[in-house]
Amino acid sequence: MIFNDLKDVRMADNLLHLVFGGKVTNPQTLDFSDPDNLDVVGIFPSYKKAYEAWKSASHASVDDAMTKYVVVHLHRLMEPDA
């Protein structure tokens, strides 16, 4: 990532990430079998915090191969051209 000024550096620490998970039909895909009952862990201001939340949720469900958690880069969805 290339930063043009200090504002860009500060904004890099404030990129929103969503962590959620649920049952999938196939553990090798992201095809959630019950989208109405997804576990939304939360929205986090940095990838580091989102990763920590993802890791915690994933480890809590490690014995269930059909449950998967993901990190979604919301900042990429909100500004896809950036």
CA distance linking residue 32 with residue 54, whole number of Å: 17
CATH number, span 6-78: 3.30.70.2400
* Number of Cβ within a 10 Å radius of residue 21: 20
Mean pLDDT in residue range 47-73: 95
Mean pLDDT in residue range 47-66: 95
Cβ contacts of 74 within 8 Å, gap of 6 or more: 15, 16, 17, 18, 43
- Give the ranges where 1-82 is alpha helix by DSSP (H): 6-12, 47-60, 74-78
pTM of the model: 0.78
Tell me how many degrees the CA angle 27-24-61 measures, rounded to the nearest 5: 75
Mean pLDDT in residue range 49-54: 96
DSSP assigned state of 32: B
